[in-house]
Chains A and B, each alone.
Chain A
Amino acid sequence: DGGITQSPKYLFRKEGQNVTLSCEQNLNHDAMYWYRQDPGQGLRLIYYSQIVNDFQKGDIAEGYSVSREKKESFPLTVTSAQKNPTAFYLCASSNSGGPLFQFFGPGTRLTVL
């Protein structure tokens, strides 16, 4: 079955530690995205990548980093510089040559203690 996987579903880290969230897709999509969602709020774009080895900052990139070494993978690192890292993180992908809608993964809930 084609889709997007994010792992783990729940992640706990101590303050000051970097943590990497995984996102993998087998939809053969060119573009991938990372969003952050806080309770009662919408989706805020962190980073996006339109093609392998290229990515752009979104609206709230400070304290985060990404890489896009393979088409199917777009990991997000939450660094110790991110002041409020506890949130629900969503990964999405889209086919840049096709419909404009994005497919979302199930999300990772990160809690920093």
Chain B
Amino acid sequence: GQQLNQSPQSMFIQEGEDVSMNCTSSSIFNTWLWYKQDPGEGPVLLIALYKAGELTSNGRLTAQFGITRKDSFLNISASIPSDVGIYFCAGPTIYNQGGKLIFGQGTELSVKP
């Protein structure tokens, strides 16, 4: 079945550094979503990508929909302590069954002040 693999699984960085993470699949996705989960809370949508090659920004966050449609990337510039959390990529299943999404296993980000 369709799976999403995120890397790295965890990152420990210094405040002010830039961050890059990615999400890959062996299957084609038509939509890529990036969520952030603060500790003990529900995930919140950061960015949605709908077209191959699309590059979208949300403040210090930039995400790209890979040309092959099998991957996506999320970059965070000039990290701050509140960037701490788990970042998930997600996409709809190939059959788009009632809005069902597949989630990656997450990239956990820690920021040292």
> What's the interface size class on B, roughly?
20 to 34
**Looking at chain A's contact residues, is the secondary structure mostly helix, strand, loop, or mixed?**
strand
Q: Mark B77-108, 1 if CB is under 8 A from A, else 0.
A: 00000000000101010001111110111101
**Looking at chain B's contact residues, is the secondary structure mostly helix, strand, loop, or mixed?**
loop
* In contact, B42 and A42 (Cβ under 8 angstroms): no
Q: How many residues of A contact B (CB 8 A)?
A: 28
Chain A residues positioned under 8 Å from B31 (CB to CB): 100
CA distance A93 to B33 in the complex (A): 15
Chain A residues positioned under 8 Å from B45 (CB to CB): 101, 103
User: Closest residue of chain A to B106, judged by CB?
Assistant: A42
* In contact, A101 and B33 (Cβ under 8 angstroms): yes
CA distance A91 to B41 in the complex (A): 11
* In contact, B92 and A100 (Cβ under 8 angstroms): yes
CA distance A98 to B33 in the complex (A): 15
Chain B residues positioned under 8 Å from A4 (CB to CB): 42
* In contact, B99 and A43 (Cβ under 8 angstroms): no
The answer to whether A102 and B99 touch (CB under 8 A), given A42-B88, A42-B106, A43-B88, is: yes
Q: What are 6 sample pairs from A and B whose C-beta atoms fall under 8 A apart?
A: A42-B88, A50-B99, A56-B98, A92-B42, A101-B45, A102-B101
